[in-house]
Amino acid sequence: MTPLFIYFIKVNLALALLYISYRLLFRNDTFFGLRRITLLGMLLIAFLYQLPDISSWLSTRPTISEVVSYYSTILPKEMTTEAITNPDKIAYEVNMDWGKAGMTGLIIVYLMGVLLLTIRSIAEITNLFITYRQSRKSRINGVKVCLIPETEEPYSFFRWIFIPAKKQSKLMLAEILQHETAHARQIHSFDVLVGEFVSIICWINPFAWFFKKEIGLNLEYLADQEVMYAGYNKKEYQYHLIGMEHSNTAIANLYNNFSVLPLKKRITMLNKKRTNGVGKVKYLALVPMAAAMLLFNNIDVMARIVNNQTTEKPKAAAVVTTPEIVPTVIEEAPLPPDDDKVYTVCDVMPEFPGGQDKLLQYLASSIKYPAEAIEKKEEGRVTLSYIVEKDGSISNVEVIRSVSPSLDAEAIRIVKAMPKWTPAKSKGEIVRVKYTVPVTFRMK
Q: What is the mean pLDDT of residues 415-436?
A: 85
pTM: 0.69
Q: Which of 259-263, 290-294, 343-347 has the highest mean pLDDT?
A: 290-294
Residue-level pLDDT at 86: 44
Query: Quick one: average pLDDT of 401-427?
Result: 88
pLDDT at residue 324, rounded to an integer: 46
Average pLDDT over residues 202-230: 94
Residue 295 clears pLDDT 50, i.e. is over it = yes
**pLDDT number for residue 339:** 59
Provide the pLDDT for residue 251. 37
Which position has the higher pLDDT, 328 or 373?
Answer: 373
Over residues 152-180, mean pLDDT: 88
The stretch 343-361 carries a mean pLDDT of 79
Q: Using a pLDDT cut of 70, give the percent of the chain over it.
A: 81
Average pLDDT of the chain, as a whole number: 81
**Residue 219 predicted with pLDDT over 60:** yes
The pLDDT assigned to 442 comes to 74
Q: What local confidence, expressed as pLDDT, does residue 135 receive? A: 92
Task: Let me know: does 205 contact 12? Beta carbons within 8 Å.
Answer: yes
Q: Look at residue 409 and tell me whether its pLDDT is greater than 60.
A: yes
Determine which of 108-112, 182-186, 245-249 has the lowest per-residue pLDDT on average. 245-249
What average pLDDT does the segment 94-108 reach?
72
Residue 304's pLDDT is 76
Would you state the pLDDT for residue 257? 58
Higher-confidence residue of 39 and 314: namely 39
**Res 317: pLDDT:** 35
What residue spans define the domains of the chain?
3-56+94-283, 315-441
pLDDT score recorded for residue 90? 47
Mean pLDDT computed over 171-181: 91
| pLDDT at 110 > cutoff 90 | yes
Which homologous superfamily is 315-441 in?
TonB (3.30.2420.10)
Query: pLDDT value at position 229?
Result: 93
* Mean pLDDT within 339-366: 78
Q: What is the mean pLDDT of residues 195-203?
A: 96
Residue 407 has pLDDT above 60, yes or no: yes
Q: Is the pLDDT of residue 79 over 60?
A: no
Model pLDDT, residue 141: 87
pLDDT tens string 247-280: 444 334 566 655 555 688 888 899 999 999 898 9
- The stretch 233-246 carries a mean pLDDT of 79
Report d(CA 251, CA 142) in Å as an integer.
Answer: 27
- pLDDT for the residue numbered 259: 52
What is the arithmetic mean of pLDDT over 201-212? Answer: 96
